[in-house]
């Protein structure tokens, strides 16, 4: 580990108190605690304050009786002695505009909130979005098709079919994201749907039975034809779109010739350290209108990998 401070979407201030998830009575008591609060999400967008500063707009349980919430009330953790929960709101109409939460704030996409929320709230937003999204996609047993029931404070769904009784848990998909480097050169790629001029580190899902190092080498070679030897772990970042863990690495390239697989990436190229530094600076000030080379926005681990390499690699 070579990064001390957490990435955006990490570093939650809550005590997850996992032991309480299996205690329905304790969770019910926490819901009734006068200082406990619930974060509502509508279409996977959390409610946030609408004012000069942005923060999560926690609501009391009484306030949420006015809106159509889903069956899942997910226990996020403890804030002192009080509980913090999340729940989804159903329906097509925005309840912050015409429903029971009118005037409480606005529902906004987590990705756009990354740079505006206080750093310690981005993880709560990511945790809530990931779990609400998982419940939305897993209402039926994958083994027998029976509607499942929520348990463990929202961290499990059980099949009530006595002939099945399967248990289903939220999953996190591991993704390697890496900057391949050789001397003072870094290898970056881009996708066709990105804004003009933006290049980023290469990335890809890990295969079953594969180590992190093997995945880094495979992905770099598959996408660009470049061979990688030593792999150094940098840091990881939860990525709630929908539920990945980005495993950031630096890989030492042993070749330079490119053979780009355009089915994987639109383009890939080597960039000097000075070029990457300039690309970082442009990303910090916002994507340039003229399509100049730049890195992704600072909330991404790709940006942080590049920034670390420029200063320390």
Indicate if 31 and 42 belong to the same structural domain: yes
* 3-class DSSP state of 129: helix
Indicate if 203 and 220 belong to the same structural domain: yes
Tokens 């881009």 map to which residue? 190
Joined together, the tokens standing for residue 207 give 């295969």
**What is the β-pairing status of strands 173-182 and 106-107?**
unpaired
**What pLDDT does residue 1 have?**
41
Indicate if 94 and 47 belong to the same structural domain: yes
- CB-count burial class (<10 Å; 0-12, 13-18, 19+) for 282: middle
Asked if residue 3 is part of any domain, the answer here is no
% of the chain surpassing 90 pLDDT: 84
Question: How many separate domains does the chain show?
Answer: 3
Indicate if 182 and 302 belong to the same structural domain: yes
Indicate if 304 and 188 belong to the same structural domain: yes
Alpha-carbon span 56 to 49, nearest angstrom: 6
In whole numbers, what is the pLDDT of the chain averaged over residues? 94
**What pLDDT does residue 5 have?**
60
Alpha-carbon span 86 to 131, nearest angstrom: 9
What's the CATH code of the domain at 181?
3.90.79.10
Domain encompassing residue 142:
138-170
Q: Residue 229 in contact with residue 178, Cβ under 8 Å?
A: no
Angle 81-82-83 from CA coordinates, rounded to 5°: 125
Indicate if 255 and 197 belong to the same structural domain: yes
Joined together, the tokens standing for residue 161 give 């079919």
Indicate if 165 and 183 belong to the same structural domain: no
**What pLDDT does residue 20 have?**
97
What's the CATH code of the domain at 77?
3.90.79
Angle 225-228-229 from CA coordinates, rounded to 5°: 150
Tokens 């780009």 map to which residue? 260
Indicate if 150 and 119 belong to the same structural domain: no
Indicate if 258 and 184 belong to the same structural domain: yes
Angle 225-230-234 from CA coordinates, rounded to 5°: 105
Among 249, 259, 196, 197, smallest CA distance to 227 is for: 259
User: Residues 42-64: what's their mean pLDDT?
Assistant: 93
For the chain, list the strands marked E by DSSP.
Answer: 37-42, 45-48, 69-79, 82-89, 106-107, 149-151, 156-158, 167-168, 173-182, 185-190, 202-205, 228-239, 244-253, 267-272
Residue range 187-241, pLDDT digits in tens:
999 999 999 999 999 999 999 999 999 999 999 999 999 999 999 999 999 999 9
Indicate if 187 and 308 belong to the same structural domain: yes
Residue range 62-104, pLDDT digits in tens:
888 878 788 789 999 999 999 999 999 998 889 998 878 988 9
Asked if residue 1 is part of any domain, the answer here is no
Indicate if 231 and 264 belong to the same structural domain: yes
Among 194, 184, 202, smallest CA distance to 268 is for: 202
User: Residues 123-136: what's their mean pLDDT?
Assistant: 96
**What is the β-pairing status of strands 106-107 and 149-151?**
unpaired
Residue 104 CB neighbours (<10 A): 20
């Amino acid at each position: 580990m070579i990064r001390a401070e957490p990435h955006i979407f990490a570093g939650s201030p809550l005590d997850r108190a996992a032991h309480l998830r299996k205690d329905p009575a304790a969770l019910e008591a926490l819901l009734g605690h006068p200082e406990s609060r619930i974060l509502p999400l509508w279409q996977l967008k959390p409610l946030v304050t609408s004012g000069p500063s942005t923060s999560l707009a926690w609501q009391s349980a009484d306030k949420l009786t006015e809106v159509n919430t889903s069956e899942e009330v997910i226990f996020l953790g403890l804030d002192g002695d009080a509980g913090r929960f999340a729940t989804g709101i159903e329906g097509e109409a925005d309840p912050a505009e015409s429903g029971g939460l009118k005037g409480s704030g606005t529902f906004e996409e987590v990705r756009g909130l990354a740079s505006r929320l206080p750093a310690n709230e981005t993880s709560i937003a990511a945790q809530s979005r990931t779990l609400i999204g998982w419940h939305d996609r897993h209402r039926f047993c994958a083994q027998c098709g029976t509607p499942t029931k929520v348990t463990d404070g929202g961290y499990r769904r059980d099949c009530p079919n006595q002939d099945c009784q399967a248990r289903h848990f939220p999953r996190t998909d591991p993704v390697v994201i890496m900057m391949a480097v050789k001397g003072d050169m870094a290898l970056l790629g881009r996708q066709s749907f990105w804004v003009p001029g933006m290049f980023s580190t290469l990335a890809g899902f890990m295969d079953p039975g594969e180590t992190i190092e093997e995945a880094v080498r495979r992905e770099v070679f598959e996408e660009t034809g470049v061979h990688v030897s030593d792999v150094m772990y940098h840091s990881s970042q939860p990525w709630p779109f929908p539920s990945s863990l980005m495993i950031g690495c630096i890989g030492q390239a042993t070749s330079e010739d490119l053979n780009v697989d355009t089915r994987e990436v639109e383009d890939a190229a080597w960039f000097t350290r000075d070029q990457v530094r300039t690309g970082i600076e442009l990303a910090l000030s916002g994507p340039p209108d003229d399509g100049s080379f730049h890195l992704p926005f600072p909330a991404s681990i790709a940006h942080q990998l590049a920034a670390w390499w420029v200063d320390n690699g």
